[in-house]
Amino acid sequence: MKSYESDILASAKLVAGEEAVIEGATRVAGAVPKLCVAPPDVETLSATVKWANDAGQTIVPVGGGTKMEWGSLPSRVDIALSMAKLSVDFEHHQGDLIATIDAGMPLATANALLAQYGQWLPVDPNHANEATIGGVVATNDSGPRRHQYGTPRDLILGTSFVRPDGQLAKAGGRVVKNVAGYDLSKLLAGSFGSLGVIVNATFKLTPIPKSSRTVVIQCLDAMKVGECVGELMSTSLMPSALEVQGAPYRLLVRFESLEAVTEEQAIRTSALPTASRCEISVMRNDKEQQCWNDHALRPWRGSGSVLKVSFKPSYLTEVLQEIQTLCAAHEVTTDVVGRAAVGSLMVGIEGEFDNQAVVIRALRSAVKLRSGHAVFLRGPLAVRSKIDEWGDLGDGEMVMRAIKQNFDPTGMMSPGRWPFD
């Protein structure tokens, strides 16, 4: 076995170069890879992927490492493919509001570069300071501003990626209407590194807003949350984020635009019938930013399980009530944050492992009745072992399995990571 591993190491160094290959790599989602390879350029990346495929070695791409535990853990990690050195190229077309960004570049770095021109990529995923462009696309992760701007899948125009056979492929481009047939860029978004290695991505950008205000509405119960959200959505108000957190519940309604516009919309929000009967505060500047920083850390502060629960937005009140009832019945505590008008919640669960698993299964059954599903994002192995991380995959399972087989017939790309392996 040692001779075989020595041969793999020698071959990897021959293909990728001595400096690109790291022995004794750190853990990747709990697994210890044989090697970590950090290709310095796209040509070396392509050659490394082809070599791994030919040699029967599995590959797991690694960016910032902030979401490696989301969903299923990789079933086998031979080569951890670090994208750290593919983080330099940045092609910005200011007049077109478009940028092509290397997959290994941190989102925070990309937005700092764009800020010099008054523009930004308006996605705010979990762990935004560490998350890389490739990781954000691969998980299709988004945050509060999804309410106005959508997910990375909605903003992406094109990608370059290395197929499992080592060939560099391109999908989409620099304009919105340039795709004939299936849009592969959107297929790669949310594929968890199972279809190919993302090299770069081209996005639509927006101007950075001049002003921001957040209206905080303290709601007594889930019913009041639903009423407030319904009232807001029936008006011409245009929040960039509409978040719920709790319990105890409160709504965070953010407006980002010109100074006069944000002030006027904050006043109108405070005067809404249901909101006006609640305790209200308006935040801006440092206090507002701290509020959103704290919000982003919930529900990740604990050591328990975290679920992403999705459902039809009209069921918001019922889902919040269901979460409260289940957690009380099984003696676990919970912390909820999420997109109130989109129907997407992050649910943190703390308590005995068996009870966490019971609540997860029961919550899945409850949201399925409301056209929803729940994905296990993070949690103790003792809980993970008792549940299916992805849950019911729905009617599209056969199609997605066929796509995986077509893209990666040998199953060498992030095996076990995607639910369609």
Q: What is the CATH number of the domain that holds 334?
A: 3.30.70.600
pLDDT in tens, 69-85: 888 888 889 999 999 99
148 and 193 fall within a common domain:
yes
314 and 334 fall within a common domain:
yes
Banded model confidence at residue 10, pLDDT cuts 50, 70, 90: confident
Per the structure, how many domains does the chain have? 4
Of 297, 321, 348, the residue that ends a domain is 297
Q: For residue 183, is it within any domain?
A: yes
Residue 292 · residue 144 · CB < 8 Å: yes
Helical H segments across 60-124, by residue range: 107-115
Question: Lowest mean pLDDT: which of 119-133, 140-154, 280-294?
Answer: 119-133
Tokens 């007594």, residue located: 220
64 and 141 fall within a common domain:
no
Q: For residue 362, is it within any domain?
A: yes
Q: For residue 225, is it within any domain?
A: yes
226 and 270 fall within a common domain:
yes
11 and 45 fall within a common domain:
yes
218 and 271 fall within a common domain:
yes
112 and 203 fall within a common domain:
yes
Both tokens assigned to 388? 């299916």
Of 207, 235, 251, the residue that ends a domain is 207
CATH number of the CATH domain containing 215: 3.30.70.2190
pLDDT in tens, 278-325: 999 999 999 999 999 999 988 898 899 999 999 999 999 999 999 999
pLDDT in tens, 191-228: 999 999 999 999 999 999 999 999 999 988 999 999 99
Residue 102 · residue 84 · CB < 8 Å: no
Residue 336 · residue 252 · CB < 8 Å: no
How far apart (Å, rounded) are the C-alpha atoms in residues 183 and 126?
A: 26
94 and 203 fall within a common domain:
yes
147 and 167 fall within a common domain:
yes
Q: What is the pTM assigned to this prediction?
A: 0.92
Q: For residue 77, is it within any domain?
A: yes
**Mean pLDDT along residues 112-119:** 97
Q: What is the residue range of 110's domain?
A: 90-207
Report which secondary-structure segment, H or E, holds 204. strand 197-204
Tokens 């509405």, residue located: 217
Tokens 């910032």, residue located: 64
CATH number of the CATH domain containing 44: 3.30.43.10
pLDDT in tens, 83-94: 999 998 899 999
Q: For residue 405, is it within any domain?
A: no
CATH number of the CATH domain containing 191: 3.30.465.10
Nearest to 319 by CA among 240, 190, 229, 241: 229
In the chain, % helix, strand, coil (3-state, to 5) comes to 35, 25, 40
What rounded mean pLDDT belongs to the chain?
Answer: 91
Q: For residue 169, is it within any domain?
A: yes
Q: What Rg do the C-alpha atoms of the chain give, in angstroms?
A: 22
pLDDT in tens, 233-268: 999 999 999 999 988 999 999 999 999 999 999 999
Q: What is the pLDDT of residue 1?
A: 45
Phi, psi of 31 (to 5 degrees): -100, 150
Q: How many CB atoms lie within 10 A of CB 32?
A: 11
